[in-house]
Structure 1
Amino acid sequence: MDKLIKWLKDNRITELECITADQTGIARGKIMPTNKFISERGIRLPESVLLQTATGDYPDDEVYYNILDPADIDMILRPDETAHFLVPWAAEPTALVIHDCYDSVGNLIELSPRAVLKRVLKLYEDRGWKPIIAPEVEFYLTQRCTDPDLPLEPPIGRSGRKESGRQSFSIDAANEFDPIMEDVYDWCEAQELDIDTLIHEEGTAQMEFNFRHGEPLQLADQVFVFKRTVREAALKHQIGATFMAKPITGEPGSSMHIHQSLLDAKTGKNLFSNPDGSSSQLFLNYIGGLQAYIPSLMPMFAPNVNSYRRYLPGADGNAPVNIEWGEENRTVGLRVPNAPPEARRVENRLPGADTNPYLALAANLACGYLGMTMDIKPRKPVSGRAGNEADPDVPFNLEAALDMMSECEPIREILGPNFVDGFIATRWAEYEGFKRVISSWEREYLLTTV
């Protein structure tokens, strides 16, 4: 805490945002003066915050009170002094500090997404393994839209025109939004976020930022902060930014690809490669674990109803509908990039940009851990184009995915039964809310025909 206090004073911070991520990835917490934060050294929030949905609703009472104390008690949030960031868009010197959630006797709250990731990382630490990851995050820039019944439109760029057509990797198309991207870069630098390259993705005004590889908890924190940074930069320029998995009909979805490798914690050597440079058994087992357990963890890679609109055949879906693996093959769900042995890694291409970064990384590492500890063999690699048919082992709708996750005992054990039950309950609660809304498609095609 002393280092954090010194940092706050050195940067003359007058206001603090004390936050933690809920199941959806929304920042929940309190805003307070710095002096109050220093004197209190922590805040309290109702435990029920961690079961709140994107709509502000909660699971039904039976599930709610089976997971939480019936008295709706407070949890204690303590700051992680390594997870502090400036808020460069604020009018006065402001910082945000990410907090961990504890119960009254000092145990991490199982429902907390950050605690779930820490739980999985402890399993790696106990075996002398150090996972390294690098996320790639996509999003759309759009015109401001205040009516949810209207489809999103591309924003007007600096040329005064709307973008049209597919512009993958176009420098000129990316430069259309230079004023916004410059703010994103400047603000990320101020926050010490490890962003690397920017590219224009395939969709209209769709962008992607790649992060430099690093430690999973730190990068989960950074992606959590990055999403807010992008939204704030867009708002400054009177446009919108969205990380929805599939925000626009007929356009590709937005993903959060996860590159992952494994080091020996003592020597720093890549355990995915043998001394002769070939693939190690741990590497193959890791892929085997991804193939075996991704189906049961799809709700953590694709947590919303909208998430599954990415998984469509052809370019309209633009996301893998399989869990095959192969080297330098972008048609498979698990791609192994061409890299030297010391950088051998696998890229999980299934997660959407709408996922909670703590939970996506926890799920990904849990799959690999189970594969390595259970000696799970992968399928044969795919050398050519993977089929366009959906893998029958993978649930590509939210209902089936939630049912499958609830029945997987190894996942309940590794992530914690309270978390699994609570997470599934919030997804069901959101889904029930979705089913109460009549869509424009239903009105257009069923109103006068059935």
Structure 2
Amino acid sequence: MTPEVLTPGTWTAEKVLEFIRERGIAYVDFRLVDLPGQWQHVTVPAAEVDLDTFRRGVPFDGSSVRGFRGIEESDMVMMPDPAAAFVDPFTAAPTLAIACDVYLPGARDRYERDPRFIAQKAEAYLRETGIADQSWWGPELEFFVFDEVRFGLGPNEAFHLVDSAEAAWNTGRPGGNGYQVRHKQGYFPVAPTDTMTDLRTEMCDELQRAGIRVERHHHEVATAGQAEINFAAGSLVQTADNVMAYKYIVRNVARRHGKTATFMPKPLYGDNGSGMHVHQSLSQNGTNLFWDENGYGHLSQLALHYIGGILYHAPALTAFTNPTTNSYRRLVPGYEAPVNLVFSKGNRSAAVRIPISIASPRSARIEFRTPDATANPYLAFAAMLMAGLDGIMNGIDPVALGYGPIDKNIYKLDGEERARIRSVPASLEESLRHLEEDHEFLLRGGVFTEEFLETWVDLKREEADAVRLRPHPAEFALFFDA
């Protein structure tokens, strides 16, 4: 069966049911997102799906979903959103995948910890403020494609190994072709050095069949198969839905070819990590509120205040935009990583960059470069929007607070000037402390709740402890003979 393109946001329950009948769909896969940001699913024969399914939902056990409910209150319901459906290209039987919202049984209230609900509340809060009626999001996800991945943990051992035929360390292997990608030189040579053009193109084909408009793809800077595929910007929830589908499609196309894709920010030592640069803007009645032909970087004062909110709250934001211990292996000062809490028209080490190569009233936007794709997109986008709105409502001036603009090479600044530039947190534990101290802006409009934030911090502290308490192989190399 040739998958049909379903345009996100345009489908009703009736249209989905008609599509199922006309296209011979055999199964419907209902999906929800857990707190860390991974899809969970249940599959139902298409013959069992009708309008009542969209009205009553599909029951599931919430106690088995990370960050949801305890076993004593585990009954929950996922309500399918017909506007978020696409044909799954990886199943043997024709299957339609549908993203769902999470509800409590009985009264059928929305579940406060559902990340999709938090994103929907952020969009509603934006409209309530009267500042804008729409936010636009264009994340750029980077990832690695490896030929082999091995890792193991035990009380007496810990190891990992990744490999790629195009990796710099494989120039000496038997049967090599001499076209391995040098460290930090993967951006972006043609074949035969770039071995993954066809693989990325196939990923793009599947993304487009799923209704996601692809703009470009290319090899990224690092050796060993680092890649990037860009897709068109959209509204907050729609774009978060697209990120979930994007990661699913990238992983499974790689698997189709016996390879494995990862969005882990720093799987390699000594080479570039993978980020998720997030372009964002606000509009009202179709007019881009970030544009000002005479402003710095063609940005309006409203956009500068939005930047002020992002940079002021960035230490707390990283708890959502960079939510793993591995995130901070990438965010290291002195390298290309965007750790500096400043804004700039061109400096890619700045946390906020203003794209100006094709500046226009339609395209004016900011780019927050710190995030990575281990983020739950619903939570990360919602948190960024709330920080930006706080900057607008409180008139946070990034210039007055010393956040730039800085258009010079930050690494060549003198010591005193360099010392005035703040950096993002150096660890997940530090970012969680900042979130505990600075989260009032997230609570406005009931978008986030204290209970949710406490749950998130507890979940992430458990992950941080799992890494912090374990002996590291490098410690044996450094200290075994101490």
Match of 1:218 in 2: 238
Match of 1:383 in 2: 407
Matched AA of 1:145 = V
Match of 2:181 in 1: 164
> Is the contact between residue 306 and residue 391 of structure 2 (CA under 8 Å) also seen in structure 1?
yes
> Is the contact between residue 383 and residue 442 of structure 2 (CA under 8 Å) also seen in structure 1?
no
Match of 2:29 in 1: 17
Say yes or no: does 1:333 pair with 2:351: yes
Match of 2:100 in 1: 99
Which residue of the other structure, out of 152, 157, 162, is the alignment partner of 1:152?
Answer: 162
Match of 2:430 in 1: 400
> Is the contact between residue 179 and residue 192 of structure 2 (CA under 8 Å) also seen in structure 1?
no
Unaligned runs of 5+ in 1: 53-66
SS in 2 for 1:202: coil
Matched AA of 1:108 = R
* 1:33-432 paired onto structure 2 within 5 Å: 33-38=45-50, 40-41=53-54, 42-52=57-67, 68=69, 71-104=72-105, 105-126=107-128, 127=130, 128-148=132-152, 149-155=159-165, 163-165=180-182, 166-172=185-191, 175-204=194-223, 205-264=225-284, 266=285, 268-274=286-292, 279-315=299-335, 318-338=336-356, 339-379=359-399, 380-387=404-411, 392=422, 394-414=424-444, 415-432=448-465
- Greater Cα offset, 184-193 or 156-165: 156-165
Task: Tell me the number of residue pairs that the alignment of Structure 1 and Structure 2 aligns.
Answer: 431
Higher relative contact order by CA 8 Å / sep ≥ 6: 1 or 2? 1
- Greater Cα offset, 36-45 or 420-429: 36-45
Which residue of the other structure, out of 25, 38, 43, is the alignment partner of 1:31?
Answer: 43
- Greater Cα offset, 390-399 or 208-217: 390-399
Matched AA of 1:144 = E
CA–CA distance in 1 between the matches of 2:201 and 2:237?
26
Matched AA of 2:291 = S
Displacement, 1:287? 0.6
CA–CA distance in 2 between the matches of 1:223 and 1:424?
23
CA–CA distance in 1 between the matches of 2:439 and 2:226?
38
> Is the contact between residue 154 and residue 162 of structure 1 (CA under 8 Å) also seen in structure 2?
no
> Is the contact between residue 63 and residue 71 of structure 2 (CA under 8 Å) also seen in structure 1?
no
**Under a length normalisation based on structure 1, what TM-score does the superposition of the two structures give?**
0.89
CA–CA distance in 1 between the matches of 2:293 and 2:372?
35
> Is the contact between residue 22 and residue 49 of structure 1 (CA under 8 Å) also seen in structure 2?
no
Query: CA deviation digits over 1:314-368, x for unaligned, max 9?
Result: 44xx311112001132221100011123321100000012212212211211111
Query: CA deviation digits over 1:379-399, x for unaligned, max 9?
Result: 331121224869546322111
Matched AA of 2:80 = P
Displacement, 1:69? 6.2
SS in 1 for 2:240: helix
CA–CA distance in 1 between the matches of 2:214 and 2:283?
22
SS in 2 for 1:147: strand
- Greater Cα offset, 108-117 or 68-77: 68-77
Displacement, 1:106? 3.1
250 and 93 in structure 1: CA distance in 2 versus 1, 3 angstrom threshold: same
**Under a length normalisation based on structure 2, what TM-score does the superposition of the two structures give?**
0.83
76 and 203 in structure 1: CA distance in 2 versus 1, 3 angstrom threshold: same
CA–CA distance in 1 between the matches of 2:181 and 2:289?
45
SS in 2 for 1:213: coil
344 and 135 in structure 1: CA distance in 2 versus 1, 3 angstrom threshold: same
Match of 2:475 in 1: 442
Displacement, 1:11? 2.5
> Is the contact between residue 50 and residue 111 of structure 1 (CA under 8 Å) also seen in structure 2?
no
CA–CA distance in 1 between the matches of 2:246 and 2:192?
22
CA–CA distance in 2 between the matches of 1:274 and 1:168?
32
Give the share of equivalent positions with the same residue, in percent.
28
Unaligned runs of 5+ in 2: 1-12, 153-158, 168-174, 413-417
210 and 94 in structure 1: CA distance in 2 versus 1, 3 angstrom threshold: same
- Greater Cα offset, 427-436 or 81-90: 427-436
CA–CA distance in 2 between the matches of 1:223 and 1:174?
28
Matched AA of 1:164 = V
CA–CA distance in 1 between the matches of 2:164 and 2:70?
46
SS in 2 for 1:32: strand
114 and 163 in structure 1: CA distance in 2 versus 1, 3 angstrom threshold: farther
Displacement, 1:313? 3.2
CA RMSD of aligned residues (A): 2.4
Query: CA deviation digits over 1:149-199, x for unaligned, max 9?
Result: 232122359996673302212232675113322321221122111221102
